[in-house]
Amino acid sequence: MLNKRKFKESVERNIRVNFLKTIKTASGQERYHAVVKTLMEEVVTHWQETNERHHNKKKACYFSAEFLMGRAFGNNLLNLGIYEEVKEVLNELEIDIDEVEKAEADAGLGNGGLGRLAACFLESCATMNLPVTGYGIRYHDGIFKQRFVDGFQVEEGDPWLAHGEPWSFRRSEDAVTVVFGDESVKAVPYDTPIIGYGNQTINTLRLWQGEPLINFDFNLFNEQRYDESVKEKNRAEDISRVLYPNDSKEEGKILRLKQQYFFVSASLQDLVKKYKETNGNEFEKFHQYHAIQLNDTHPVVAIPELMRILTDEEGLCWEKAWGITTKTFSYTNHTILTEALEKWDVKLYQKMLPRVYEIVKGIDEQFIEFLNEKSYEKKKIDQMKIISNGRINKAWLAIYGSHTINGVAEIHTNILKHKELKDWYELYPQKFQNKTNGITPRRWLALCNQELSALITALLNTEDWITDLSQLKKLEKHQYDDEVLKRFMAIKRTKKKQLAAYIFKKEGIQIDPNSIYNIQIKRLHEYKRQLLNAFHILDLYYELKENPDIQRTLRTFIFGAKAAPGYVRAKGIIKYINEVAKLVNNDPQMKDQMKVAFVENYNVSYGEKLFPAADLSEQISTVGKEASGTGNMKFMLNGSPTIGTNDGANIEIVQEAGEENNFIFGMKIEELQAMEDTYEPRAYYESVPGLKRVVDTLIDGTFDDGDTGMFQELYDSLLEGASWHKPDNYYLLKDFDDYREAQRKAEIAYADEIAWARKCWMNIANAGKFSSDRTITEYAKQIWHI
């Protein structure tokens, strides 16, 4: 229970002592800061208690280069159980809670799904009262802000800390020194509370910031050599300056390698230091107190780094250290895209981290010896050894140095076992596990769709579903209750209207809540096939132009996606979709037929408005390429059927919710593998009705790419291929017709309102499996043993 009087006093006091103002005169930013400071007074007690409760217990550490947290304010109020009360108090103070929420910048310390997964996981761990700490980097700039200028993506910085960041504490006393070959930097941790839902557990996200050991060189300054005097400071601060804006592609940049070692070394030093304070030098038990999860290969340098600390600094022998290390680490694989499998350049590592490199070499030699003992053929050994062709294979190091490797959906884990990591699965079958991803139902339903949450709570007569999502199954019995379905449709309409208002305000595009909202929001990548979506829209456009009298259901196609700044083809696709949007939206004849809206700067907060308002969830990746997806789960939980391929977690979504309640099209993985080598995209281009017409708009002057050659290049990628891939590498032309058919089916199904609502409802009722609480329970029991 909130003490209202105390709360008000504290807000007023915080505004006074921090800003020398009153509530009336304070800005939105200042009010936000004062309210958060007030909340922190409540939080700190439980935070300390949780730390004490978890002290001297085994804990899990989630090492991740990305945490895509979004805003904390609403979620923290919800989880503290004081959302309504705080809203009331603020109201009494004449402060609008929405204004306070908006003042917070998104913590965009991640690119997409992988970083958002880390954020959902931390929230679930706290909600389940599990001792888990997140470790990462306090990037000064998060993922870039995206704008469109003449339909082209333009990137801007994201200085999310510019107005201060009231949730975190700087913990100077825990600062450590990270040593590189040619420099040393200070790593200073900032701790952010991760608040569990309704249980007073508050875990920690610890993010490291790079700082110089000495702030500036006084002598150089005195000699008026100003630039040089701050050189070391700049170099150190560069390490945590910016998140690399890339998704599913390796970045062989020195600074990125530095970032990885920086946060990993700082975190391990921190863990070892704390361990010694209670356990002294008895490192044999280190793994009994720590389970470290490596989120993808980004933090995999942790394996040789722990070896270095245990042998060089703590004096353990190699064998003992290796035993501890392999009992400590586990590794999550997130992708099979070859361009994403990171490799380190040996030369770079020798220069930057000479000692760590020697240890990697030692690990590799030990591994080769092990394979020799198993009588592996030389050819096999060459394929599996960790260092080869002047590069360190990070995935191999991760597998050898971990006790458990997991994929993130059934299909993905199977591809790992039987294809991508086949040799490794044969060597270590017992190491492989599946952990299908999940999302937190707090942010992705209870917070972002309060209307639907209230309906669910009313029907189930309890709020228990919020922490036990499998209870949604009990909603199935309402599937033939038209009253319930109508209430659901009314809520969907409310969310669609809210989104329409927001999109109009932000983008200046008017969309009609009576239309079908088709939404595809995710990073821009060829394998995710936003271009296929665009081709279908254009095909529909031409069909409507040719047959102006046919009555179709009004449709709105919504996109949200950032392209990595160096990914030229992805940027070409953005420009193309914006051109399609311009054509469609400026055609008066389309007014009552269709609309296209590509929203700028898709991020977590935008997602919270988009997912609840969707009628159709677009999940159309090339089969085998989307490891899991989590956006698909957010749509499902908010009651939108999926139009999608047999890929990633779509397969499990349909298993749960029923094929009849979704629109699945295209090949199964086996079918794709069977036709891979003989695929002729041109045959489809020539023969599928309407396909040539839309593909040719890339080159026939229908659209203008501002003389960049981007559209010609896209055309060539589909029909000619490029040095690094065969034509239509992602099977757009193959799947076009099936996709169009599925779209048609969805549109027809939508016309029967009650039948449609039932499909939506069945998706909600069967979304229980996709709670990250379920995923985390599996990690805790089967990998971390906490």
Catalogue the active-site residues: 334, 522-523, 528, 630, 634
Question: Does residue 14 touch ligand PLP according to CB under 6 A?
Answer: no
Bridge partners (DSSP) listed for residue 619: 644
Please, what is the minimum distance in Å from the beta carbon of residue 116 to ligand PLP? Answer: 4
By the rule CB under 6 A, 74 interacts with ligand PLP: no
Query: Which of 60/519 has CB closer to ligand PLP?
Result: 519
Minimum distance, C-beta of residue 772 to ligand PLP, in the bound complex (Å) = 11
Distance of closest approach, residue 693 Cβ to ligand PLP, in angstroms: 29
Q: Give 631 or 681: the residue with its C-beta nearer to ligand PLP.
A: 631
Q: Which stretch binds ligand PLP (CB under 6 A): 209-217, 279-287, 627-635, 766-774?
A: 627-635
Contacts 24+ apart (CB under 8 A), 230-234: 232/183
113: contact with ligand PLP by CB under 6 A: yes
Between 206 and 522, name the residue whose CB sits nearer to ligand PLP: 522
Q: For residues 494-553, which are near ligand PLP according to CB under 6 A? A: 522-523
Q: Which of 300, 194, 296, 202 is nearest to 249 (CA)?
A: 296
Residues in contact with ligand PLP, counted by CB under 6 A, come to a total of 12
Q: CB nearer to ligand PLP: give 240 or 520.
A: 520
Q: Which is nearer to ligand PLP, 187 or 524 (CB)?
A: 524
The bridge status of strand 176-179 relative to strand 152-156 is unpaired
Please state the closest distance from residue 10 (CB atom) to ligand PLP, in A.
33
Q: Which two tokens stand for residue 362?
A: 């030692």
Nearer to ligand PLP, 596 or 604 (CB): 604
**Whole-angstrom Cα distance, residue 731 to residue 727?**
9
Structure tokens at 283: 């490192």
Candidate ranges 112-120, 209-217, 385-393, 732-740; the one touching ligand PLP (CB under 6 A): 112-120
- Answer yes or no whether residue 630 interacts with ligand PLP by CB under 6 A: yes
Q: What would the two tokens of residue 234 be?
A: 């700049």
Q: How far is the CB of 121 from ligand PLP (least distance, A)?
A: 13
Helix residue ranges, H only, 448-567: 450-460, 482-507, 530-546
Sequence-distant (6+) residues with CB within 8 A of 422 are none
Give φ, ψ of 551 to 5 degrees. Answer: -95, 110
Residue 148 CB, nearest approach to ligand PLP (Å): 18
Tokens coding 663: 């629109």
Query: Shortest Cβ contact with ligand PLP: which residue?
Result: 631
Tell me the C-alpha distance between 346 and 350, whole Å: 6
Q: Which tokens is 286 given?
A: 């280190």
Dig out the tokens for 241 from the structure. 């300056």
CB of 534 to ligand PLP, least distance (A): 17
- In the complex with ligand PLP, which residue's Cβ is closer, 88 or 155? 155
DSSP string, 716-769: HHHHT-BTTB-TTTT-HHHHHHHHHHHHHHHHHHHHSHHHHHHHHHHHHHT-GG
Q: Which two tokens stand for residue 380?
A: 């096999």
Phi-psi map region of 549: left, alpha, beta (phi>0 left; psi -120 to 50 alpha): alpha
Among 332, 603, 650, 662, contact with ligand PLP (rule: CB under 6 A): 603
Nearer to ligand PLP by C-beta: 293 or 628?
A: 628
Tell me whether residue 402 or residue 763 sits nearer to ligand PLP (CB atom). Answer: 763
Binders of ligand PLP among 212-251, rule CB under 6 A? none
Query: Among residues 422, 402, 410, which one has the least CA distance to residue 775?
Result: 410
Closest CB 561 distance from ligand PLP, rounded Å: 9
328/642 with CB nearer ligand PLP: 642
CA-based R_g, the chain, Å: 27
The minimum distance between CB 52 and ligand PLP, in angstroms, equals 34
Q: Are 465 and 125 in contact (CB under 8 A)?
A: no
> Least CB distance from residue 112 to ligand PLP, whole Å?
4
By beta-carbon proximity to ligand PLP, the closer residue of 475 and 636 is 636
Q: Which of residues 652-711 bind ligand PLP (CB under 6 A)?
A: none
Q: Which tokens in the block code for residue 714?
A: 């896209």
Q: Amino acid letter at 683?
A: A
The DSSP H or E segment spanning 134 is strand 132-137
280: left (phi over 0), alpha (psi -120 to 50) or beta: left
Distance CA 670, CA 375 (A): 33
CB of 146 to ligand PLP, least distance (A): 12
User: Please, what sign has the CA dihedral across residues 333, 780, 119, 168?
Assistant: negative
Contact, 71 vs 609, CB < 8 A? no
Q: How far apart are the first and last CA of the chain?
A: 31
Task: Answer for the pair 584, 608: CB distance below 8 angstroms, yes or no.
Answer: no
Judged by CB under 6 A, which of 136, 629, 641, 681 binds ligand PLP? 629
Residue located via tokens 């919020």:
466
Q: How far apart are CA 284 and CA 40, in angstroms?
A: 38
Nearer to ligand PLP, 431 or 571 (CB): 571
Residue 143 C-beta: closest distance to ligand PLP, Å: 9
Tokens of 564: 């990595």
Contact 23, 12 (CB under 8 A): yes
CA distances from 112 to 213, 336, 340, 443, 523 (A): 33, 16, 14, 16, 6
Q: SS3 of 521, please?
A: strand
Q: Which of 245, 607, 639, 681 binds ligand PLP (CB under 6 A)?
A: 607
Quick check: 112 binds ligand PLP (CB under 6 A)? yes
Residues shown for the chain: 786
The footprint of ligand PLP (CB under 6 A) covers 112-113, 116, 522-523, 603-604, 607, 629-631, 634
